[in-house]
Amino acid sequence: MSLSAHKLSVGYHGQTIVKEMNLTLPDGKFIALLGPNGCGKSTLLKCFARILPAMSGEARWQGKNLHHYPSKQLSKELALLPQTQPIPEGIKVKDLVAYGRSPYTGFWGKLNQQDHQVVEQMMQQTGTFELKEKLVSELSGGQRQRVWLAMVLAQDTPYLLLDEPTTYMDINHQVELMHQLQILNQQGKTIITVLHDINQAARYCDHLVVMKSGELKYQGSPEEVLTSAMLQNVFSLQAQIHRDPVSNTPMCVVEDRSPPSPQHKD
């Protein structure tokens, strides 16, 4: 109910990518946005995070146009982890994570006792506490991604938006991150993440949103959404659906390469 799109169109340079979309994201769920490259899932996420404006229609928060809220107020409600992070020079891990408290601090950005506690707690939770005196620029890619996650978590928002958080991680770190997100979700956060790995989404998330060519195609639990028909329609892929032997969630196995269809440009 809290985050929704109403006839929302979003795009860049006059080109519409998300087209008149109607979507309501359920509260309290661990949601994956899925779809082929260029389907508009990241664009939609960026609009919810106020990085991109709506071309027409509205992105709404609590029933009101998201872009009408003051920046600082929304930054206590919604946090975004963008796809790529800059590598800031000369900033220590603990200082970077502390910036996550900016929405709560006074004008000068001075942290109080509670802020310090949250910062420390988030570093512990993401396994970055041991790195706190290191420079962010000295870390490995996986460590750096965890530090940025700690910063976004320090924002302490009920909603967390992530844009392909696992893209630059090896499989070990991917699993670790998805597991961590699952715990956060169980603690009450609504998590909305763009993912590419469908099986990963079905295993960890409890609500899938599938887009194609800027439109909403499927929405619901992994059981409802992850079907051979969906994979055929959205990804032009012949696949069988099996059970993940560990988690008993649905999982797709590609049958064979089907010839590329004209509308699927990859």
Given the rule CB under 8 A, which residues bind another protein? 49-52, 71-76, 79-80, 82, 85-86, 88-91, 95-96, 99-100, 102-103, 107-109, 151-152, 155
Pick 89 or 266: Cβ nearer another protein? 89
Pick 90 or 259: Cβ nearer another protein? 90
Pick 40 or 222: Cβ nearer another protein? 40
Q: Hey, is 104 helix, strand or coil? A: coil
- Look at strands 215-220 and 207-212 and give their pairing: antiparallel
Least distance from another protein to the Cβ atom of residue 261, Å: 31
User: What is the residue type of 175?
Assistant: V
Pick 75 or 174: Cβ nearer another protein? 75
Least distance from another protein to the Cβ atom of residue 143, Å: 17
Least distance from another protein to the Cβ atom of residue 84, Å: 9
The answer to whether 233 and 34 are in contact (CB under 8 A) is no
Least distance from another protein to the Cβ atom of residue 58, Å: 19
What DSSP line would sit under 214-257, residue for residue?
A: TEEEEEE-HHHH--HHHHHHHH--EEEEEE-TTT--EEEEEEEP
Burial of 14 (0-12, 13-18, 19+ CB in 10 A): exposed
Q: Write b or e for each residue in 207-226: b if 16 or more Cβ atoms lie within 10 A of its Cβ, otherwise e.
A: bbbbbbbbebbbbeebeebb
What DSSP line would sit under 193-218, residue for residue?
A: EE-S-HHHHHHH-SEEEEEETTEEEE
Identify the CA nearest to 244 among candidates 198, 182, 209, 210.
198
Least distance from another protein to the Cβ atom of residue 90, Å: 4
Least distance from another protein to the Cβ atom of residue 222, Å: 29
Pick 19 or 46: Cβ nearer another protein? 46
Pick 165 or 250: Cβ nearer another protein? 165
